[in-house]
């Protein structure tokens, strides 16, 4: 079923999906190009570099170091510090909380770790923390391994996904963009966990839709935990994943010559990209590695100026068309009639005011 997708990559190994890339799928659901490339596991950063449109997606090593340091501090001594904040927010009142570390991240032991995660979840009772669990999720007909920061059991038997982030919560407030990104990621884990429980014959609703977000408080490294309701993100995600199932059909319908094998010359890769429709929006610039190329391709469209601009221009596709309608130089189609009248009035007003 995924042969068509695998072929797109050439000989290169598939790039692993993670919660972040899955979360990004929900950012611009209308983009077929992104869906196909991600489903096929194409190395998009290298592809963008190779065709001469490198993105700017570097991460500061200071930020990485702080994130890792914060997580290590929380998990030291069998998660002593983490447990203390979780006790408050989840109401864990039993003195004994079991802690299982399923081991470090390594590609060759993925299957084994997932197996142990299943065993633990099938057997577990009582309060427990599971560190380095490994979950799976079907994305576009392909099994993807996911690694939440932690799963916590509450005494009442409810499972909570714990997400550790290193951005600060100051006086109960944090950067809204970062919180919503964390919420979408947590939703990915909740969904994967629910599907696993359903698999094991348990009630998927045992997994709480309240994910726990653990962040440094104010300007210190002192942790604080808050519950984040991810129901909205879950429903968006479920919908997008259902849509993605059709990606294989798109891939199968592509001409035989389409390939993203990075050993091909850039011109061929760009030609291949043209076969898959993209839906560029300026928001892509902060979410997708291919965005700079897509922006170049979309130059002259109203969508490249942002969705509000496109809407205000009456949904007309290109800048040239919008200006022609505004100048009355082009007869509008039936559905453009209203937009054209508005554009002409706007052009008249601008000309009148700027001339005086």
Partner 1 sequence: MSTLTALARAQAFAEGRAQPIATVRHLHLHDRPFVLIPYAMAGEANAPLAALAGTDRKDPQLLVVAQPRNRDDRFAFAADLAGLLVPYVDSFTAVAEAVPVDRGRDVRYRYVDAPQVWVPTTGGVDFLRLFGRSTRFRSTDGEYAVPAGVPLLGRWLTFFANSAEVPGSSLLLNAVQALSSHWATGQSSAEDAQLAALMAWLSPPPGRTVFEAAAAAEDPSVTPPAGPATDPGFDNHVLAPLLSVAEPDVAQLTEVLRAQLTPTWRLMWEALDLLRTLPPGARVPSRWDGDRDAFSAFAQHVAEGGPPQPRRDGAVAAAARLSRLEAAAARYAVQRAFDDPLVMAEHRLTGAAFAADVTLAKADRIDDSGKRPVLRPRIMVVTSEPVRVEPGAALFSPARPGQKATVISVTSEEPGKSTVLLELSGGMGRKLVAEPGSVPEVGERILLTTLSEAYRPGGALPEPDQTPWTHGGPPSAE
Residues that bind partner 1 (CB under 8 A): 56, 58-67, 166-168, 170-172, 216, 218-220, 282-283, 285-286, 300, 302, 304-306, 308-314, 319-320, 322-323, 326, 342-343, 345-347, 349-350, 352-354, 356
Write down the least CB distance from residue 333 to partner 1, Å: 18
DSSP 130-172: EES--EEEEETTEEEEE--SEEEE-TTS-EEEEEE--S-BBTT
User: Which residue's CB is nearer to partner 1, number 199 or number 283?
Assistant: 283
Please give the Cα distance from 326 to 347 (Å, whole number): 6
Nearer to partner 1, 147 or 321 (CB): 321
Q: How far is CA 233 from the centre of its chain?
A: 11
Judge contact between 24 and 185, C-beta under 8 A: no
243 near 29, Cβ under 8 Å?
yes
CA distance 152 to 85: 12
Please state, in angstroms and rounded to a whole number, the distance separating the CA atoms of residues 94 and 243.
43
With respect to partner 1, which residue has the nearer C-beta, 167 or 260?
167
Task: Write down the least CB distance from residue 313 to partner 1, Å.
Answer: 5
CA dist., res. 98 & res. 152, Å (int) = 10
Which of residues 7 and 296 has its CB atom nearest to partner 1 in the complex? 296
Q: CB-wise, 135 or 292, nearer to partner 1?
A: 292
Residue placing its CB nearer to partner 1 in the complex, 110 or 342:
342
Q: How far apart are CA 164 and CA 154, in angstroms?
A: 18
**CB nearer partner 1, residue 24 or residue 304:** 304
Q: Shortest distance, CB of residue 221 to partner 1, whole angstroms?
A: 9
Residue 341 CA to residue 328 CA, distance in Å, equals 9
Residue pair 12/43 in contact by the 8 Å Cβ criterion: yes
* Of 227 and 324, CB closest to partner 1: 324
Q: What are phi and psi of 279, to 5 degrees?
A: -125, 90
| Closest C-alpha among 260, 294, 261, 267 to residue 51 | 267
3-class secondary-structure state, position 91: coil
Task: Retrieve residue 102's tokens.
Answer: 């399923």
Residue 30: CB minimum distance to partner 1, A: 17
User: Cβ 124 to partner 1, closest distance in Å?
Assistant: 35
Parallel/antiparallel/unpaired status of strands 128-131 and 98-101? parallel
Distances (CA, A) of 4 to 22, 215, 253, 293: 20, 42, 9, 24
Cβ 151 to partner 1 shortest distance, Å = 26
Closest distance of CB 58 from partner 1, Å: 4
Q: Toward partner 1, which CB reaches closer, 205 or 320? A: 320
**Minimum distance of partner 1 from residue 67's CB (angstroms):** 7
Least distance (Å) between residue 61 CB and partner 1: 5
């Amino acid at each position: 079923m995924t042969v068509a997708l695998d072929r797109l990559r050439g000989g290169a190994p598939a790039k692993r999906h993670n919660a972040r890339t899955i979360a990004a799928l929900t950012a611009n659901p209308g983009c077929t190009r992104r869906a196909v490339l991600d489903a096929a596991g194409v190395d998009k950063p290298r592809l963008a570099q190779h065709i001469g449109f490198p993105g700017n997606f570097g991460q500061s090593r200071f930020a990485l170091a702080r994130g890792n340091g914060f997580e290590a501090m929380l998990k030291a001594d069998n998660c002593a510090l983490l447990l203390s904040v979780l006790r408050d927010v989840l109401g864990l009142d039993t003195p004994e909380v079991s802690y299982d570390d399923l081991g470090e991240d390594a590609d060759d032991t993925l299957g084994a770790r997932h197996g142990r995660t299943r065993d633990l979840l099938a057997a577990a009772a009582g309060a427990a923390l599971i560190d380095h669990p490994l979950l799976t999720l079907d994305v576009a007909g392909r099994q993807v391994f996911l690694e939440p920061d932690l799963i916590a059991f509450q005494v009442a038997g409810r499972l909570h996904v714990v997400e550790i982030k290193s951005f600060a919560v100051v006086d109960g407030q944090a950067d809204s963009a970062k919180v919503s990104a964390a919420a979408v990621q947590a939703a990915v884990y909740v969904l994967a966990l629910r599907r696993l429980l359903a698999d094991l014959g348990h009630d998927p609703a045992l997994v709480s839709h309240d994910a726990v977000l653990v962040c440094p408080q104010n300007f210190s490294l002192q942790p604080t935990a808050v519950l984040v309701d991810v129901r909205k993100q879950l429903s968006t995600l479920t919908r997008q994943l259902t849509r993605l199932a059709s990606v294989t059909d798109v891939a199968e319908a592509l001409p035989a010559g389409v390939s993203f094998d990075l050993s091909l010359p850039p011109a061929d890769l760009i030609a291949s990209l043209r076969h898959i429709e993209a839906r560029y929006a300026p928001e892509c610039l902060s979410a997708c590695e291919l965005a700079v190329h897509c922006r170049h391709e979309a130059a002259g469209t109203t969508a490249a100026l942002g969705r509000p601009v496109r809407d205000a221009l009456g949904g007309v596709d290109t800048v040239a068309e919008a200006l022609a309608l505004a100048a009355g130089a082009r007869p509008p189609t039936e559905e453009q009639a209203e937009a054209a009248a508005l554009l002409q009035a706007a052009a008249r007003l601008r000309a009148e005011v700027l001339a005086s």
